[in-house]
């Protein structure tokens, strides 16, 4: 049997899903003829692509609608339509055998993601996804890393915003309340967070000649006048994600990755519960979902040498830092609601009947913030996110003399609405970077995180070109 030709640069799998549709639109937006970006980043040469899903009619309807909206005739080749389903292994294999990179937007990933990861590894396709499910990410890393390296494949999870964390604020308030709150902490992200941790390490090293040892992250989201809403698929992932915490702990107990070492200097204190932060100007609460887990895994992979790349196999890996992440609340009342509803929600997710109850009643248990309809265009277009990073480190002299950290740098990462605007921008640029720079020897093989995959690439510059801004504020 002949091997199929790998003739597709990119395939968007799950294209007709709620987030998948926005990813397809983003591919159109990246071409210069769309007029969306003033200076769009480079698109891989000889670009050809496909959209994939279960329904020919729905895929065709999506394609007709998007092509009418974005007139890029002559600049973007019309995508091929592929019929693929996780229950049909032959179709998945055929899709992966033809594609250089698969963007997977089919979740919940703990139930559906492994089929696609396995097909990519076995058929030589690179892979990026939008999962925010730590148990799935770490299970795939443990299960498929060696096989992916053997086949020369790169699997990069969490190339978007953490869908699970959106639940936290969604569970404590209503849309009407959101419409009257100026700054609300809720949705956090893996790629901007993971890449921002790496970027902050690099910035404090190059700007101050200092060794970073501590990093704190504070996240707020800024709703517009139409408020915020999430799609049911996000809610569903959250329900199952919270219920799998014990599985994640078991995975880590048997992990063969190196433990994070003790770094020089004082221990970074994680402020548990509610805490007024005068410097940030809000109440903070620890961020307990995917981002800290992804940052932790990244640092372990760097320590294990899994970020070594062909173009510079002896490159010095980024140093390990202590890391803490927080939600930021504008006042005490949302904090109280957050803690109360968070407790109730965690109680329900601990039993099958409780999870079924939550899944049958998303609007009731989220104050109307989650529904099968999802957010409106106006809600997406008028919302923004912003996160502040405070990084501390040592100069050589202070480190040698055993002093306290003597260098501090404050940075900011900000951009458009997290789940359905920023996520498509991020994952499309991750896919483009994977196509362009893996062939240049700047991307490692294996199952890795975004900072490990892209630390030698120009991904941050790509993100800045599409409106995800990284800025040094102080230091």
DSSP collapsed to 3 states, 133-173: CHHHHHHHHHHHHHHHHHCCCEEECCCCECHHHHHHHHCCC
Contact 394, 264 (CB under 8 A): yes
Indicate the range of 8-22, 45-59, 279-293 predicted with least confidence.
279-293
Residue 57 has phi, psi (to 5 degrees) of -65, -45
Report the chain's terminal Cα–Cα distance, integer Å.
Answer: 61
pLDDT bracket for residue 190 (50, 70, 90): low
Q: Output the average pLDDT for the chain.
A: 88
This prediction has a pTM of 0.91
d(CA 123, CA 121): 6
d(CA 326, CA 389): 10
pLDDT tens string 427-463: 999 999 999 999 999 999 999 999 999 999 999 999 9
Fold of 8-161+421-461: Rossmann fold (3.40.50)
pLDDT at 35: 79
Supply the angle between the helices 109-123 and 134-150 in degrees, to the nearest 10: 10
DSSP string computed for 239-297 = HHHHHTHHHHHHHHHT--SPPPPPPSSSPPP---S-EEETTTTEEEEE--SHHHHHHHH
263's tokens = 């770094």
d(CA 449, CA 303): 13
Report which of residues 410 and 336 the model is more confident about: 410
pLDDT bracket for residue 4 (50, 70, 90): low
| CA dihedral (14, 19, 22, 27) positive or negative | negative
Q: Following CA atoms 335, 341, 347, 348 in sequence, which dihedral angle do they give, to the nearest 10 degrees?
A: -150
State mean pLDDT over 91-108: 97
pLDDT tens string 27-76: 999 986 667 898 889 899 999 999 999 999 999 999 999 988 886 666 78
342's tokens = 């968070």
Pairing status of strand 154-156 against strand 446-448: parallel
pLDDT bracket for residue 331 (50, 70, 90): confident
Percent of the chain topping pLDDT 90:
63
d(CA 451, CA 197): 8
pLDDT at 174: 32
Task: Sheet with 384-394: list strands edge to edge.
Answer: 275-277, 282-286, 322-329, 211-222, 384-394, 407-416, 469-474
């Amino acid at each position: 049997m002949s091997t199929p030709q790998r003739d597709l640069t990119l395939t968007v799998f799950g294209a007709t899903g709620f987030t998948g549709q926005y990813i397809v639109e983003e591919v159109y937006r990246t071409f210069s003829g769309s007029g969306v970006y003033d200076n769009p980043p480079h698109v891989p040469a000889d670009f050809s692509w496909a959209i994939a899903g279960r329904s020919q009619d729905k895929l065709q309807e999506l394609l007709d609608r998007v092509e009418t909206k974005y007139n890029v005739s002559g600049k973007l080749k019309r995508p091929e339509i592929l019929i693929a389903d996780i229950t049909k292994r032959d179709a998945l294999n055929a899709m992966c055998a033809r594609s250089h990179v698969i963007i997977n937007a089919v979740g919940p990933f703990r139930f559906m993601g492994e089929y696609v990861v396995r097909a990519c590894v076995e058929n030589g396709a690179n892979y990026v996804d939008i999962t925010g499910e730590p148990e799935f990410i770490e299970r795939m890393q443990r299960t498929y890393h060696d096989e992916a390296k053997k086949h020369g494949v790169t699997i990069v999870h969490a190339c978007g915003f953490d869908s699970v964390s959106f639940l936290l604020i969604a569970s404590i308030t209503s849309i009407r309340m959101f419409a009257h709150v100026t700054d609300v902490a809720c949705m956090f992200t893996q790629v901007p967070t993971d890449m921002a941790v790496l970027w902050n390490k690099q910035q404090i090293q190059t700007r101050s000649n200092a060794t970073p040892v501590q990093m704190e992250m504070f996240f707020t989201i800024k709703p517009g006048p139409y408020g915020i809403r999430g799609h049911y698929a996000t809610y569903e992932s959250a329900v199952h994600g919270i219920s799998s915490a014990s599985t994640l702990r078991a995975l880590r107990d048997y992990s063969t990755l190196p433990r994070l070492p003790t770094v020089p200097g004082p221990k970074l204190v994680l402020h548990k519960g509610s805490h007024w932060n005068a410097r940030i100007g809000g109440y903070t609460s620890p961020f307990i979902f995917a981002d800290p887990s992804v940052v932790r895994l990244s640092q372990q992979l760097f320590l294990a040498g899994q970020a070594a790349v062909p173009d510079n196999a002896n490159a010095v890996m980024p140093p390990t830092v202590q890391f803490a992440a927080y939600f930021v609340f504008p006042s005490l009342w949302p904090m109280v609601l957050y803690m109360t509803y968070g407790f109730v929600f965690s109680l329900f997710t601990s039993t099958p009947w409780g999870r079924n109850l939550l899944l049958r009643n998303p609007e009731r248990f989220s104050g109307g913030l989650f529904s099968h309809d999802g957010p409106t265009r106006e809600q997406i277009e008028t919302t923004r996110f912003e996160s502040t990073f405070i990084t501390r480190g040592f100069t050589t002299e202070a480190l040698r003399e055993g002093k306290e950290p003597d260098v501090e740098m404050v940075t900011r990462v900000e951009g458009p609405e997290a789940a359905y605007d920023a996520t498509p921008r991020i994952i499309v640029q991750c896919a483009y970077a994977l196509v362009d720079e893996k062939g240049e020897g700047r991307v490692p093989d294996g199952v890795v995180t975004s900072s490990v995959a892209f630390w030698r690439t120009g991904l941050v510059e790509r993100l800045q070109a599409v409106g995800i801004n990284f800025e040094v504020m102080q230091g």
